[in-house]
Every structure is written in C-alpha cells, then in structure tokens.
A and B are shown apart, each in its own frame.
Chain A
Amino acid sequence: MLNSLLSRYTRTLSLVLVLLLVIVLELFEVRTSIYGNALPFFEWMRNSFWLGVLGTTYGSVYATVEAVHLLSMAVIGGTVLAADLRLLGIIFRDIPSETLTQGTHKCFRISLTVSVATGIFCAAGVADKVYYMEVFWIKMLVLISGSCFVFLFKQPLLNSRPHDEINPWALRLLAVTSLLIWFTVAATGRWIGFS
C-alpha cells in the first residue's frame, strides 16, 4: 500500500517534503542566519571578484552586458507570452499547443541561461547595493522557484501527453502562474534599477 503510494505519487510527495523542509528551515531561522553571513561574499563580489571589478571599472562593458541581459529577458518574455497565451487559447489557435510549447521551450532554456549568466555579471557590479534591497531577494526567490516550477513541474507535464488529455483548468492555472512568475521577475528587475 505504502510502496504503491510512493511509486504512484513520487512528485507530489517530493513537493510536500520540500514544503515541509522550507517550513522547518524558516522555524529555525536558517534564512536569517544565511542572510547575515552573506554580506562578506557580496562585498568580495563587488570589490575583489574580477566580474565586479570589470563591471565597475569599464562602464561600456557593463552597459553592453546589461543590454544582452535585457535582450535575453525580452526573448524569455516573448516565449512565455506565446506559449502561455496559447495554453489559455487566446492566440495562435491554429497551431497545436504541443508544437508551440515544445518549440518555445528550447528558446526559453537558452535565453534563461544567457540572462542568468549576464545577470550574475550585472549583480556583481552593484553587489554591495543589491544585498540590502528586499526587491533583489524577492526577484531571486521568484526566479529560482519559477525555474523549478517550469523545469520540474510544468514542462514535464506538458511533454508527457497530448494537451487535450490534461485537465483544461490545470493548463489554465499553469499558464497564468507562469505569466505572473515572469512578469514579477521582469518587474522586480526594473525595480532594482530604480531603488
């Protein structure tokens, strides 16, 4: 009985375990202690790490890398809008949603990798500032949880079978959640720039 439950609902049980782990870590204030100890690392990134030094010394390099960062974010936005609005049945109704979600996901993976790589460079240049910004940590939290959501839950479900065999309300919920995740990542990213 227990074995069959474990084998049939592995993902769901893993999700519950991760949630419990997060609650336990919060109860023991692990996040707070990590935050307190992370300041020297951020100061090192800004002042000693070659990425931080390069970004603060050469403004043109920082601007170029930030432009690539924004372009990759734009590509992410385009792929997310195309795939999720198709799942909601708003656009591209003549294209099968399986074709669209699989095609855009390849592009999404590449642009997410580029945006994370360039984002590390951008953050290193202003590491001593972003450390104190709540919105920066919100962005990191949403980015990590959003990436886990897409790669561990959303895409495996969408790739597992034809979409007409998936509950339509589940598809709509996935699409709306994905839209809000990447909207929040983009909005908090711009918010960092204005903080």
Chain B
Amino acid sequence: MNKNNKWDDKEIAATGTAVIILGGLILYWLLQMESTLELLELAYGSVKLFNNPLVF
C-alpha cells in the first residue's frame, strides 16, 4: 500500500496468490471432512458430533 492508499503490484500479487491457495486448501479440507463423515455414517449409521459416534 503506497502513500495514496493504493495497493501496489507486490501486494496485489501476494494477496491474489494467498486467496487462491487458501481457498483451495479450505475446500480440500472441507471435502475431506465431508467424506470422513460419510464413511463414519456408512460404518455406524449416524454420526453425533458431540457424542461418541461409536455408541448407538
């Protein structure tokens, strides 16, 4: 950010890269969480997040 409060090249490029990578990684971990929950549901019928899923 320069004195005119405008973002310069390095800031835009770094922020743009960060947004792309961060978005991709958050999506990846959310998909992993979803597939894990699906596997748990297949194995145990239902998943109770705040209880022990191994106990019906």
Q: Which A residues lie at the B interface, using CB under 8 A?
A: 8-12, 14-15, 19, 138, 142, 145-146, 148-149, 152-154, 156-157, 160, 165-167, 170, 173-174, 176-177, 180-181, 184
Contact = CB atoms under 8 A, between A and B. Distances in A.
Given A9-B9, A166-B1, A167-B11, A153 B25 contact: no
Given A149-B17, A153-B14, A184-B29, 15 more contacts: A9-B9, A19-B20, A138-B28, A156-B14, A165-B1, A166-B11, A167-B11, A170-B11, A170-B15, A174-B18, A177-B22, A180-B22, A181-B21, A181-B25, A184-B25
Nearest to A146: B21
Interface string B1-29: 10000010111111111111110011011
Contacts of A156: 10, 14
Interface centre among B10, B12, B21, B26 (most CB of A within 10 A): B10
Contacts of A19: 20
A149 B19 CA distance: 11
Contact of A153 (B7, B13, B22): B13
B9 A11 contact: yes
Contacts of B16: 12, 15
Given A11-B13, A12-B16, A170-B11, A177 B1 contact: no
B9 A177 contact: no
Nearest to A145: B21
Nearest to A153: B14
Contact of B12 (A9, A149, A152, A173): A9
Max chain B C-beta neighbours (<10 A), residue from A15, A19, A176, A181: A15
